[in-house]
Amino acid sequence: MLRAALYLRVSTLDQHPETQVHDLRLMASQRQLQIVKEYVDHGISGTRARRPGLDEMMRDARRGRFDIVLVWACDRVARSVKHFLDVLDELNHLNIQFVSFRENIDTSGPLGRAIVVIVGAIAELERSLIVERVKAGMRRARLEGRRIGRRPLDIDRKAVMRERRNGRSLGQIAKTFHISRASVARIIKEEQGAVSKGVSPALLQVNENRPPQSVA
């Protein structure tokens, strides 16, 4: 007997999932499925990708705690096509079947498996298009001489080292210069390394603030 998980979602707090529960329990009984858990999200919009019930269900799916997911309708899982495809794609990779009561989608049958293949192809195409758009944007930024990534910190390194020699902690120095503890630790390490190698500490400041060269 296959182990089934039910996922239910209602958008407002005054709505109740009884109708969804009744239909899904009846479908599970007709298919001779063992319901191991029901995951419910109350008063949460389907546009939100992160939801307590859905997140818990996906965690349990990765742990292999059920074999099939039953939902009342696809829009109960997600309103965003991309998010729905991501969920369906992950369930498919975990070898977990997906059944939608209203749309009559069942990935265990030939038509359902064809839908999964189409869904996977669409998802892969979308990921490829996103990567290409990002790469194109970075190439254009380089050609225009614009910086990619965060602008380097304009920090008085000598002042940081002076504060450190005066016995101030990393947290205190970070608060004084409005930077993170990690940045303070990095500056101190680089300055100490430069001194040990005989490199002028001022040269590090110049190199860090030098604007990037444009790509011809």
Residue 183: active-site member: no
Backbone phi and psi for residue 214, each to the nearest 5 degrees, phi listed first: -75, 150
Ranges of residues in the chain with a pLDDT under 50 are: 202-216
Q: What is the pTM of this model?
A: 0.54
Element (H, E) at 172: helix 170-177
| pLDDT reported for residue 197 | 66
| pLDDT reported for residue 25 | 95
Q: Where are the domains of the chain?
A: 3-105, 157-209
What's the pLDDT tens digit per position in 120-137?
677 667 778 888 888 888
Give the pair of three-digit tokens for residue 72.
């009342």
Q: Which residue is catalytic, options 11, 80, 108, 183?
A: 11
| pLDDT reported for residue 12 | 67
Distance CA 70, CA 57 (A): 11
Superfamily of structural domain 3-105 = Resolvase, N-terminal catalytic domain (3.40.50.1390)
| pLDDT reported for residue 43 | 78
| pLDDT reported for residue 67 | 96
What's the pLDDT tens digit per position in 14-56?
566 788 899 999 999 999 999 999 999 987 776 777 889 999 9
Distance CA 131, CA 137 (A): 10
